[in-house]
Amino acid sequence: MKIKKKNKIKLYYEMLRIREIEKTIAEKYNEWEMRCPVHLSIGQEAVAVGVCQNLKKNDEIVTAHRCHAHYLAKGGSLKSMISELYGKETGCAKGLGGSMHLIDLRAGVSAAVPIVGSTIPIGTGIAWANKIKKSGKIVAIFFGDGATEEGVFFESLDFAALHRLPVLFVCENNEYSVYSHISKRQSKKRNITSISESLGVKSLKLNGNSIEEVFLKSKDIINKMRKDSKPYLIELKTFRAVEHCGPNNDDNLNYRTKNYLNYWEQKCPISNYEKFLKRNKLLSNYQLLKIKENIKKQISSAFNFAKKSKFPKKKLLKKYIYA
C-alpha cells in the first residue's frame, strides 16, 4: 500500500506541529504561569499521528497522563489545550483539569486519565457502549508499557475479546516507567504481544518511530476492525526524549546511558522523515519554511488567547467534586 505525496506531507506536518507546540510549552513553563505538571511526548509523535490519521472524527480515543500528542493528533483544539495548561476558563476542562485531563468531545477525545492503567478499562467500557448502540465507532486506547503490569490490562483485553469489541489497544513502549527500565520490572520472557494473543486479542509489534510503518499498519488494522468488530493490540517501541514529568532534560540522573540516548536520538521520527522527504524531492526548503511559519502562527495565537483568557470563577471549585 502506497502513501500519496499529500498524505506524506500531512504526516510530517502533524508530527512537527506537535513537536513545536511541546517545545514552546517547555520554553514557557519556567515562567511559572502554567501551574500543572506536564508530561511531554517529544520523541513519540509518530505513534499518535500514525494511529490518529486513520481514525474518523467520530471515532474516540482515551489517553493517559502523556496526552498532548494524542489530543492534538485527533484534532483537539490547540487554543483550548493551552488555555487548560494555564488554568483558564476557556480551557478544554474549563481550567480545572490541567495537562493530564484533556478532553474534546467534538474531536473524539473522550478522556485523558493520569492514573496508570485506568484508561484501559474506561476505553473498553466506551467500546462496549458503542457496540450496544451500534454506533460503528472505533475506540483507540493509548497507554504505556508500565500499564501492562496492571490487572485491568488483562481483564480489559479478556473482556474485549469475549464481547468482540471494536477497540484498538495502543501500547507506547518507551521502555521506562518514570526511571525504571522495563528489564527491572518485567521478566525477560514476558512479552506484551504474546500476553495479548493469549487473551484472544490479535497483536502486532511495530517500530513506533517509523511514521509510515505506524500509519500503514494501523490503517490496515483499523480497516479490519470496521469489518469484523474485533479488538487488536499494537505495541510500538519508541523513545521519550525529555524527563518523565516536566519541561527539562534529566539525563544528569544517569538512569539512561549515553549510548542508549545516542542510539535513540538517531531514530528521531521527525528529523529522519524530513530527510526522507527532502531526499525524495517530496518536500522543498520553501515548503518547509511555509509549514514552520504556519505552525508558529498557530502557537503564538493559542498562547496569546490563553494568557488573555480569564480564570474560572471560585464557585466552580466545588461544582465538580463528587467525593
Provide the whole-model pTM. 0.95
Instruction: List, for residues 199-228, the tens digit of each pLDDT value.
Output: 999 999 999 999 999 999 999 999 999 999
What does the alpha-carbon distance between residue 70 and residue 61 come to, in Å, rounded to a whole number?
8
Q: 281 exposed, middle or buried (CB, 10 Å; 0-12, 13-18, 19+)?
A: exposed
The pLDDT of residue 109 is above 80: yes
Instruction: List, for residues 286-297, the tens digit of each pLDDT value.
Output: 999 999 999 999
In the block, which residue shows the cell 502513501? 3
What does the alpha-carbon distance between residue 79 and residue 104 come to, in Å, rounded to a whole number?
11
The pLDDT of residue 13 is above 70: yes
Identify whether the C-beta of residue 87 lies closer than 8 Å to the C-beta of residue 95.
yes
pLDDT score recorded for residue 317? 78
Does residue 320 or residue 150 have the better pLDDT? 150
Q: Which three cell numbers stand for residue 295?
A: 505552525
What does the alpha-carbon distance between residue 169 and residue 6 come to, in Å, rounded to a whole number?
28
pLDDT score recorded for residue 323? 62
pLDDT score recorded for residue 320? 77
Question: Average model confidence (pLDDT) for the chain?
Answer: 95
CATH number of 5-179+190-306, picked from 3.40.50.720, 3.40.50.970, 3.30.70.20, 3.40.1010.20: 3.40.50.970
Mean pLDDT of 277-286: 97
CB atoms within 10 A of CB 187: 7
Name residue 190's beta-bridge partners: none
Q: Which three cell numbers stand for residue 2?
A: 502506497
